[in-house]
Amino acid sequence: MKTVAIVGLGLIGGSLAMALKGFEDYEIVGVVRRQATADYALRHGVGDAVTLDAGEALGRADVTFLCIDPADIVRYLSDHRDHFKPGSLVTDVCGVKGAVMEAAGVLPPSVDFIGSHPMAGTEFSGIEHAQADMFQGAHYILTPRPESAPEHIALLERMAAHIGCQDVVRTTPERHDAIIAYTSQMMHIIAVAVCDDPELFGCRGFEGSSFRGCTRVADLDVELWTQLFSLNRPALTAALDRLADNLDAYRAALREGDEGLLREKLSFSAARKHCLDLGARPASSYYV
């Protein structure tokens, strides 16, 4: 059998280990740091096997998924650059691609690195929240390097289909980070900013589904999202600047009591949302 090593069995890594079981002729091996995580994985069938010996696992893995925090991925690539099996594929699941792709430059030419980002997740963390259906209906983003092997790209596409993704999208790291700053990271900033309002605890009993939906992701993994925001600072700052301009325009219309302008802006925004949704397939229910 061939081997897939999944480094880090948290929410995404654990879900990936569960979802990839039975894929072609691959054994799914989880690589963890704590015995407690290994014991949980074995009890709950997260992957086919689990080990604490990273060097041994990387040395025989045909494919390695790095499912750890962004800063840890950068360090891991440097620390283990000589441990990966020659001819193997290394990929990741990180929500920031530019910094990770740059860090992958330390790998020897015999190791192929392709950036990946399955668009799935929840506001929770840890292996105990892993779900085998986490990726059902999700988009799977790939950021190959110019020298990436076509057979490795095809392999990731088959894996994405196996775990239930609705499609695979190829793009550049720069384009990925600019879009994710808008569609994901800015949404998290909005959620936490809403929760900063002094009226938050006075609204109990008045919350509607729109409020709960807006603030759902505010109960986030602080260390992870600090890294994601920081590593994508230029793109996220640009997205927030555009948002601030749009909010200012609505505030100005309200402050001036200009109902005509307000109606015009609402019609414009609603029409754009309607066009966006036409023919769109729903994303993964676990998408954050």
CATH number belonging to the domain at 2-171, selected among 3.65.10.10, 1.20.120.420, 3.40.50.2300, 3.40.50.720: 3.40.50.720
Tell me the per-residue pLDDT of 112-147, one tens digit each, with 9 for 90 and over. Answer: 999 999 999 887 889 999 999 999 999 999 999 999
Where exactly are the structural domains of the chain?
2-171, 176-277
- The pLDDT assigned to 288 comes to 55
Q: Do domains 2-171 and 176-277 have the same CATH topology?
A: no
Greatest alpha-carbon pair distance for the chain in Å reads 69
Q: What is the pLDDT of residues 191-203, one digit of tens each?
A: 999 999 999 999 9
CA-wise closest residue to 111 among 74, 73, 152? 152
Amino acid at 44: H
Is the predicted pLDDT of residue 12 greater than 60, yes or no?
Answer: yes
Burial 97-116 (b: 16+ CB within 10 A, else e): bbbbbebbeebeeebbbbbb
**Per-residue CA distances from 242 to 112, 245, 248 (Å):** 37, 5, 10
The pLDDT score that the predictor gives to residue 280 is 65
The two three-digit tokens of residue 54, written as one number: 């990273």
Residue 117: closest CA among 191, 223, 12: 12
- Give me the CATH code for the 176-277 domain, please: 1.10.3660.10
Q: How confident is the model at residue 284 (pLDDT cuts 50, 70, 90)?
A: low
Collapsing DSSP to helix, strand or coil, 283 comes out as coil
Q: Helical H runs in the chain?
A: 11-19, 35-44, 54-60, 70-79, 98-103, 150-162, 173-180, 186-194, 209-215, 222-231, 233-255, 259-277
Please state, as a whole number, how many other Cβ atoms lie within 10 Å of the Cβ of residue 261. 15
Whether 267 has a pLDDT exceeding 60, the answer reads: yes
3-class state of residue 89 by DSSP: strand
pLDDT at 278: 85
SS3 at position 131: coil
Query: What is d(CA 155, CA 114) in angstroms, rounded to the nearest whole number?
Result: 11
- Span 247-274, mean pLDDT? 96
Three-class SS string for 98-141? HHHHHHHHHCCCCCEEEEEEECCCCCCCCHHHCCCCCCCCCEEE
Per-residue pLDDT, 124: 83
Neighbour tally for 278: CB within 10 Å:
6
* pLDDT (tens digit per residue) in 20-31: 999 999 999 999
Closest to 121 measured CA to CA, from 109, 138, 108, 106: 138
Residue 282, pLDDT above cutoff 70:
no
Q: Which residues are within 8 A (CB) of 248 and not within 5 positions of it... i.e. 6 or more apart?
A: none
Cβ atoms 57, 31 nearer than 8 A: yes
Tell me the pLDDT tens digit for each residue of 44-66. 999 999 999 999 999 999 999 99
C-beta separation of 191 from 217 below 8 A: yes
214: pLDDT strictly greater than 90? yes
Determine how β-strand 167-170 pairs with β-strand 139-143. parallel
> Average pLDDT for residues 68-90, to the nearest whole number?
96
